[in-house]
A and B are shown apart, each in its own frame.
Chain A
Amino acid sequence: MSVLTYLGYAMVTVGVIFLFLGALGIFRMPDVYNRLQAGTKATTLGALGTILGVGLLQPEWFWKTLIIAIFIAISNPISSHALARGSYKIGIKPITKEDDMDAYAGVETENEEE
């Protein structure tokens, strides 16, 4: 058992914990936007942790896992942005406590042609 092995197991453990919290967040949050919030952040760190942890446990895979991690870090927020934008455009309004807290209302149709 080398230092790398311990570090790898630690990262996998941390990743799994955050993935669990993300799943719990998706279960508990009230609307689609808050669910995306919990889902995106927790799954990004969770996936990065588990994948890089596996890379440290199997050093010959390290560069592959690093590239996968970079692609996840770039593509995860983009997909959540697309989901949020799509949800708004089909008419799902975000839950707010006061009425004037939705700055996006009214401008969402402006660049429809894109």
Chain B
Amino acid sequence: MSRFIFTFAVYFLIWMGFTTSFDPQELIAGAVLSLIITFFSYKSFTDLGLSFLNPKRLFNIVKYMFVFIIALFKANFDVAKRVINPKLPINPGIVAYKTKLKSDTAKVFLANSITLTPGTLTVDVIGDTLYIHWIDVITKDPQKIYSEIGEQFEVILKEIFE
């Protein structure tokens, strides 16, 4: 039930965002549509339901967004630096990265975050191993790979999803 309400709330908020009007007709149409879609998809939409909204999680989500946006800017300046440099300083390779996260949603977000951070691109996820294309392989030591690529995200994602 809690999952149902949470899913419905998210869909309804998206509807409100797209229509941006408080006209009763719009609201009723949105509510009906959200209900129908929720009925079909709430089981796969979320595992946590309303418990997702506790203050500690929300605080970590805000923190995550800050870390993520900073990493995104760093990544772009990194790419820009490499692209503009006439020598094209790259040393690419694929490394294996062991994650400590258990939940699938958390792994999806970790893989996405890794793709958008400096010089790394997730190629595949098999079990708890992520295969990552690294534009500049500076180390092959698994522990160093862990702290260099994804530790800052894993700590926060663990708080949010587990």
Residues of A within 8 A of B (CB): 18, 21-22, 24-25, 28-31, 33-34, 36-38, 40-42, 44-45, 60, 63-64, 66-67, 73-74, 76-78, 80-81, 84-85, 88, 94-98, 101-105, 107-108, 110-111
Contact = CB atoms under 8 A, between A and B. Distances in A.
A34 B135 CA distance: 7
B76 A18 contact: yes
Contacts, number: 130
A45 B137 contact: no
Contact of A21 (B79, B93, B96): B79
A21 B80 contact: yes
Contact of A42 (B16, B79, B119, B123): B79
Which of B16, B82, B112, B121 gathers most chain A CB within 10 Å? B121
A41 B82 CA distance: 13
A104 B79 contact: no
Q: How many of chain B's residues touch chain A, expressed as a range?
A: 35 or more
Nearest 6 A-B pairs (CB), nearest first?
A: A101-B93, A77-B115, A63-B17, A77-B112, A103-B96, A104-B131
A66 B90 CA distance: 34
Contacts of B116: 40-41, 44, 73, 76-77
Contacts of B82: 25, 38
Given A29-B88, A94-B93, A102-B94, 20 more contacts: A21-B84, A25-B83, A28-B83, A30-B88, A33-B92, A33-B121, A36-B121, A41-B79, A42-B79, A44-B116, A45-B76, A67-B17, A81-B122, A84-B122, A84-B123, A97-B93, A101-B92, A104-B96, A105-B94, A107-B126
A37 B122 contact: no
B50 interface: no
A81 B115 contact: yes
Contacts of B88: 28-30
B-side interface mostly: mixed
B91 interface: yes
Interface in B137-151: 137, 140
B60 to A, nearest CB: 17
Contacts of A78: 112
Given A60-B20, A80-B115, A101 B94 contact: yes
B111 interface: yes
Interface string B62-103: 000000000011011001101110001011111110000000
A81 B123 contact: yes
A43 to B, nearest CB: 10
